[in-house]
Amino acid sequence: MSVFQLKTTHPGKHFTIEQANQLKNRYSPEQKRRLAEATKGFESLLTSMMLKSMNKTSGGMFGENSLGGDYFDTIFESELASYIAHGKGLGISKLLYKKLTGESINSIPPMIKPEKFNNLKKLKINTKEFQLPSINPSESSLKRLQKYDKFINEAADKFQIDKNLIKSVILTESAGKEKALSKANAKGLMQLMDATANQLGVKNVWNPKENILGGTKYLASLLRQYSGDINLALAGYNAGPGNVEKHNGVPPFLETKNYISRVLGYLKYFNG
């Protein structure tokens, strides 16, 4: 009779304590938050694809011949997928995050809690690096924006930020459209990602008041983090604080540079 040797383990497949600690120290708290957001976004996208495939076999959630069924199916699939991914989910994001960091996704450090913001109305703008173009918003976008004046003023007072800066960010992010949805699944007036909205305490990202308060809270935390430097705060809002840290300043991304110039252009318009 032949003797079989069963290989029950492989040391290379397991983390040592030292390797686990190296993984934990590999990413900054902000990078960990972004990784968590990315893994949840991936799970949401995968879940949405699964739902879409299921709907095709059943004629859609609203029926094959329903008016606008395709559009509402897409919205419903996206929302349901996001809800699943940011709830208990399928476990995909947890596995990916664990593989990347060696930690549980539930151990992500909290964001800066902006409770008191001093002198944030005294913004620092580096005009040598960025021109201040004159941008005239369209009448339609200004009309949309006007509907949210009450919420914008409330957010400006609560977080001590110039209301015109909030308006400028909203116009740049969504053109004042409360149902704006980007390809990256950023939502609402100030284009919040689901993970970011969740960390900011935004329960309903489609609610204009919650969205504006959440986005302003995040912007305020960035302004505080960068000592009122509006260029760095806007870069962090657009490209993430991790990229600002990585490049020790505004990242060399054309999209981010155009984003900052556009916000500053609207700010110049509002400030006269």
Active-site residue set:
173
Among 163, 165, 136, which Cα is nearest to 150's?
A: 163
Taking the C-alpha atoms of residue 242 and residue 62, their distance in angstroms, rounded to an integer, is 42
Residues 19 and 93: beta-carbon distance below 8 Å: no
State CA 202 to chain mean position distance: 12
Helices (H), 27-162: 29-58, 69-85, 92-101, 139-146, 149-159
Cβ neighbours for 170, distance < 8 A, ≥ 6 positions apart? 145, 148, 152, 176, 189, 190, 212, 215
Taking the C-alpha atoms of residue 74 and residue 86, their distance in angstroms, rounded to an integer, is 18
Residue type present at position 176? G
Question: Which residues in 193-208 are b (16+ Cβ under 10 Å) and which e?
Answer: bbbbbbbbebeebebb
Taking the C-alpha atoms of residue 15 and residue 23, their distance in angstroms, rounded to an integer, is 10
State CA 247 to chain mean position distance: 20
Tokens of 194: 């689901």
Taking the C-alpha atoms of residue 227 and residue 120, their distance in angstroms, rounded to an integer, is 8
Among 119, 116, 114, 125, which Cα is nearest to 221's?
A: 114
